[in-house]
Structure 1
Amino acid sequence: MIKIRLARLGAKKKPIYRVVVADSRNARNNGRPVATLGMYDPAKDVADRLTVNTEAAVAWLGKGAQPTDTIRSIFKKAGIMAQFEASKK
């Protein structure tokens, strides 16, 4: 199953995450992701935390990629899930 999830980067106690499309059978940071959609930095201001290619994210959701619970929450706040629902209609 293909999932949209976070891959951890950054120093100890200062994480930065990549938003990636990866096979769920692989470990979080092992192997090459299918695609990289953007970055998520929880230390930044709320408006600057997420930088993601919205068109690519909606396209992967349309292809059947399942977002993890965390990514679903982040995408809802950014309005990407609403765009995906609108594109289905």
Structure 2
Amino acid sequence: IIITDSRAPRDGKFIERLGFYNPGTNPATIEINFDRTLEWLQKGAQPTDTCRAILSYKGILMKKHLLEGVKKGAFSEAEAEAKFNAWLEEKESKIQAKKDRITKDRDEKLKKAIEAESKVNEARAVEIAKKSEELAEIEEKAEVTETASEEVVEATAEIAEEPKKDESSPGEKPEKESAKAKTEESSEAKKVKVTAEEKITEPESKKENSKEKT
């Protein structure tokens, strides 16, 4: 908020800086030099539309109107001051009520947002717990299945080993029997050989005896 020559460009050189205005906040932030602005208005400065709304909001135009009434003799300066103070008090109460309402609305929105977020977090926690339980059940079933399969494999291995033992034991008897048969055959062969030798030696002894006699 500045005082500048009406013939100067908008962003050109200014005469005096009176304050600033920020419409980005709610309510809008306005900082202005009340007395210096009032003096410039009394000197004939013409505010723009936006500046006029700001001056009305801050009560500067109200104060200028009351002072003009004092000059005309409509009421005394004390009465004008009392009227202005009453107006200013009412204006400030309205502004404070608006600020309180805005703060309350913001707090309620924040509270609802926090509640909604907490509900989402609770639902997510329940879902995670459910999935954890399902995974635990799957792992338990997998362990039981693995243990059962190991028991089946061990039992099958034991059953497979038993027939081998049974097969090997009967197999040994034929070998023993065949060995026994071989020994018997060899002994019979020896007997046959001995008797054959005896038969062969007997004629030879008879010949020798006949020679001796001759």
Q: TM-score, normalised by structure 2?
A: 0.31
Distance 1:64 1:23 in 2: 12
Deviation per CA, 1:1-33: give whole Å up to 9, x if none.
xxxxxxxxxxxxxxxxxx0000011111112x1
Q: Secondary structure at the match of 2:64?
A: helix
Deviation at 1:45, TM superposition (A): 2.6
Distance 2:8 2:41 in 1: 19
Distance 1:76 1:25 in 2: 25
Which residue pairs with 1:84 in the alignment?
A: 64
Match of 2:30 among 45, 50, 65: 50
Question: Where does 1:57-76 land on structure 2 (aligned, <5 Å)?
Answer: 57-76=37-56
- The one-letter code sitting in structure 1 at the alignment partner of 2:23 is P
Which residue pairs with 2:10 in the alignment?
A: 28
Flag the structure with more relative contact order, 1 or 2, with Cα contacts below 8 A and sequence separation at least 6: 1
Q: Is 1:38 matched up with 2:23?
A: no
When Rg is computed on C-alpha atoms for both structures, the one with the higher figure is 2
Q: TM-score, normalised by structure 1?
A: 0.71
Deviation at 1:78, TM superposition (A): 1.6
- The one-letter code sitting in structure 1 at the alignment partner of 2:60 is I
Question: Which 5+ residue runs of structure 1 have no aligned equivalent?
Answer: 1-18
Distance 2:63 2:25 in 1: 24
Identity of aligned residues (%): 33
Question: Which 5+ residue runs of structure 2 have no aligned equivalent?
Answer: 70-214
- The one-letter code sitting in structure 1 at the alignment partner of 2:67 is S
Q: Secondary structure at the match of 1:23?
A: coil
Deviation at 1:66, TM superposition (A): 0.6
Distance 1:38 1:45 in 2: 18
Which residue pairs with 2:146 in the alignment?
A: none
Distance 1:40 1:71 in 2: 9
Aligned length: 69
- The one-letter code sitting in structure 2 at the alignment partner of 1:20 is I
